[in-house]
Structure 1
């Protein structure tokens, strides 16, 4: 089983390094100084449980160099989905498939027409990691779980086999019966927190200690749940309370990653987060005034700081 990490940032880097360290055949797509460091010095994972160092790394900025790929862990930014998807298509093996671990809820709809619906699976990643410096990925907690599923629901031999490999590599991989519901449950928190911390340019601590901001976040989450249910997704009853509880576990100085993209003048994923909530709500007749306002407030920066 040749596994390719498509986008070697925090998420892709963590899972890819763990799989490679356990003996897996893993290759990495990366760019810039991160790629150069990987090719010259290897790739390291550092964190509370110590360090893993891969010295013999197959890494490239061209997917054709990494094929034929049996399983592609698709971890690129949402705005690069179609471009990278088109490049990936000819690099997949005959029975190769993709597991998108991206943010958002539209990966299957966007990748399906490019790769073929039967080649696309989706999932959530629950962990905290980032590129600490070129060639080094740092994780900051013991939580490391991947939740994956077939787009149509149910288990499959291919995902069960991949999950077994992941569990042997030292992190948890779960195959969900209804992955779309799981994606939307995470999206309730993800889309809301990303937009609020970025639009207000403030970290979680001072924001969510303010009762009016907490109420705003709760109402924004309710918009996401309403849109998901209008779309036919079985978003569970406890999604909002669970998300609000998680907000209280975040460090006071934590920002969503989208804020850091804004701060460095980079492109934003807002169009696929609050923008998706607003646009789907408009199509389905569900009012989303909070996500509409958050989306429009960040829209001028979507392609980078003007």
Structure 2
């Protein structure tokens, strides 16, 4: 299977390496020092599931040089979605699938605006991975799972082919018939974790242990679920309680990528997480005061360090 990795950071770099290990024809799209390292020394994965070094990989900063592929694993930061979607147009042929493995719920619409409806599939990634240094991806823990599918629920040939490629790559994968619901279930959880840890500058353990901050965390989750239901997503009535119970099982030191980005002075995905809940809530007529608080508190940091 010919696969292009658009965004070769933690998610794209890790799963792209495993797919290449399993025999897929993988090309990494990257830039800067990371691209130079990929070209010069290959790609190294540091993981409790097994270290991996691919001494030679295909890597470029010009998607048009690759030509049409079977599948694009789309894993750029949310704020880069529109520009990246335009850049991958030359990769998209009549049967190409484009699967965004991103944090928000708006990628489908943005990608369809640029590429049309037919190529765009849905996906959810479950992994903790970052670029430790150029050319090196560090995987935290042992979870490495992709869930994906067609929005019409059918088991298409391209989805089945990608499932087989994932299985050969040696990581967990699921072809789901309810991918929109699965995307929103992760979004509900992620908005709570990212909004609370980043606004409070603390990991999840102390937040869930304190009655006041736990209540705020629950409000972030409940508002997001209410917005999803108002938009027609079949989230359960007790979605907030289920996600909060799920969080109770996470390691107390766990935090969010947005919290890490804040600490490093990087741009935040704020407006595509809590900010998106506020915007979608306004459209759906659902109040979102907790998520608005997170958005407004962090607004001065959204584009990097405050002036």
Tell whether the structures are fold-level matches, with TM greater than 0.5: yes
The separation in 2 between residues aligned to 1:54 and 1:93, in whole angstroms, is: 28
Q: Deviations over 1:154-174 (max 9, x none)?
A: 322211121122112211221
Contact 2:97-2:158 within 8 A present in 1 as well? no
Task: State the partner residue of 1:137.
Answer: 137
Summarize the alignment of residues 63-142 of structure 1 with structure 2, pairs less than 5 Å apart.
Answer: 63-142=63-142
TM-score in terms of structure 1 length: 0.96
Distance 1:165 1:238, change over 3 A: farther
Q: CA deviation at 1:237?
A: 3.9
1:144 and 1:237, CA in 2 relative to 1: closer, same or farther beyond 3 A? farther
Aligned pairs, how many? 306
Shift of 1:198: 0.7
For residue 148 of structure 1, what is the aligned residue in structure 2?
148
Corresponding residue number in structure 2 for 1:300: 300
Unaligned runs of 5+ residues in structure 1 are none
* Residue matched to 2:36: 36
Partner of 1:50: 50
Q: How far, CA to CA, are the matches of 1:246 and 1:233 in structure 2?
A: 20
Q: How does 1:247-258 map to 2 (within 5 A)?
A: 247-258=247-258
Distance 1:124 1:139 in 2: 17
User: What is the rounded CA distance, in whole Å, between the counterparts of 1:156 and 1:239 in structure 2?
Assistant: 29
| Cα deviation digits, residues 209-263 of structure 1 (max 9, x gap) | 1121111111221111110010001113453233212322333333211112112
Give the 4+ runs in structure 1 shifted more than 6 A. Answer: none
Unmatched 5+ stretches in structure 2: none
Q: Residues of 2 paired with 1:157 and 1:242: CA distance?
A: 34
TM-score of the two chains, using structure 2 as the length reference: 0.95
* Structure-1 residue corresponding to 2:27: 27
Mapped to 2, the partners of 1:11 and 1:52 lie a distance apart of 15
Name the structure 1 match of 2:285: 285
3-state SS of 1:164 partner: helix
Q: Which residue of 2 aligns with 1:6?
A: 6
Residue of structure 2 in register with 1:166 after alignment: 166
Correspondence for 1:216: 216
* Preserved contact between residue 63 and residue 87 of structure 1 (Cα < 8 Å): yes
What value does the CA root-mean-square deviation take over the aligned residues?
Answer: 1.4
Deviation of 1:275 after TM superposition, in Å, equals 0.8
| Shift in Å, 1:93 | 3.0
Whether 2:261 is the aligned partner of 1:261: answer yes
Residue 202 of structure 1 aligns to a residue in which SS?
coil
* C-alpha contact (below 8 Å) 1:59/1:66 kept by paired residues: no
